[in-house]
A = this chain, B = another copy of it.
Amino acid sequence: MSKSHLNIGIIGTGFMGKAHAFAYRSALAAFPDIPVPVMKMIADVNAESAAKAAHQYGFEKSSGNWRDLVNDPAIDVVSITTPNTLHKEMALAAIAAGKHVHCEKPLSPTLSDSEDMVKAAAAKGVITQVGFNYIKNPMLKMAREMIAAGELGEITGFRGIHAEDYMHDPASPWTWRIDPSGGPGVIADLGSHIIGMARFLLGPIASVNADVETVIRQRPADKGSSETKPVLVDDIARLLVRFEKGFGGTIEANWVKTGRQMQLGFEVEGTKGSLAFTQERLNELSFYKAGGNPREKGFTTIESGPQHPPYGGFCVAGGHQLGFNDLKTIEMAEFLGGIASGRAAGPDFKEAFEIQKVVEAAIASSRQGAARVRI
């Protein structure tokens, strides 16, 4: 029987821990039909941070030990927002305890670890979700629907990119983010978002030819240090892709794209129309429809509004705009709705695993001179 309330536990109080907290707190206001999320417990390796977060985000209790949270029988739902080397252990423990699990992306540093997580969740029958928040945007939901409905005609090409610049400065020191024990570099961190978006819009990718490279090969060992350490993970990944449906495209992931803070976007065209989107203007979608009055030929900049569900849950009037935390709210509300319905809203662990397969295929391709690798 579906529960009317779900007790939430969040592991981690950093960037994503906070984003999850905002989202759970707002979910019911925007989505009246989901179970009521109850802010039950927040855990962090630093007990003081956990206590502070509990106060600030309105959780009933906190712990410095994530196992307290996972083992608490009152908890229904676990959000894992810790560094990705920790995801597997936490997720497996939560699954074993029968919790529904939301895990930030990427699922884990290696494909085999991720596969273990997929299998464990499936075996236990819990609902899972992975933090591919950007596709929760109402404009992307509409884009997907338009494509599926044939409004673009036969799709002929795609280009996707997720580029930011947080690693662009060669003077930026070595960080956990580029520790190879955490898995690949930008192709996992940002690449998984744009690969996931491509799949969301257009379906599976059949093959890749990829060039995955480290651009800044040495970084200061510490901030301001004159000692350097070699960088062993990738800074830029460029992919030629073929989709299973037959058309091709390109995908890029890049964390040294100087000046870009959130260039996550795509262009897709078909025989009858085109769409263009960038997260830099997340409340807009550019649409071109062939065959109109030639004198009026051009792209239309569609602005988000209540005619683009689930925008209306946030605001009844168009043009008021959603922000990042609203996308995260949609994500969490759909996760909770999935728990209620018994059917994951997605992207679930399985989908995250499929995305990771593309990541691994790209790396394999790159090692062979960008030879074609089937997925």
Contacts and interface: CB of A to CB of B under 8 A. Distances in A.
Interface of A: 14-15, 18-19, 21-22, 25-26, 28-30, 32, 36, 52, 55-58, 142, 152-154, 156-157, 159, 161, 164, 166, 168-170, 209-211, 213, 215-216, 235-236, 238, 240, 242, 247-250, 252, 254, 256-262, 267, 269-274, 279-284, 287-290, 294-303, 305, 307-308, 314-326, 369-372
Contact of A156 (B159, B236, B307): B236
Contacts of A211: 209, 240, 242, 248
Contacts of A287: 296, 298
Given A156-B256, A258-B288, A298 B303 contact: yes
Given A29-B57, A250-B252, A372-B369, A273 B302 contact: no
B323 A322 contact: yes
8 contacts: A25-B25, A159-B161, A159-B252, A258-B271, A259-B274, A262-B320, A300-B301, A320-B324
A319 B281 CA distance: 10
Contacts of A273: 258-259
Contacts of A258: 152-153, 156, 269-274, 288, 290
Given A213-B248, A258-B269, A299-B300, A325 B315 contact: yes
Contacts of A372: 369-371
A247 B215 contact: yes
A32 B19 contact: no
A209 B370 contact: yes
Given A211-B248, A319-B261, A298 B288 contact: no
A96 to B, nearest CB: 30
Contact of A282 (B209, B238, B321): B321
A216 B256 CA distance: 37
A247 B258 CA distance: 15
B307 A302 contact: no
Nearest to A249: B238
Given A25-B29, A56-B28, A302-B297, A319 B250 contact: no
B305 A261 contact: yes
Contacts of A326: 323, 325
Given A156-B215, A289-B296, A297-B302, 9 more contacts: A22-B29, A25-B29, A168-B271, A169-B271, A259-B297, A262-B303, A300-B301, A315-B324, A322-B324
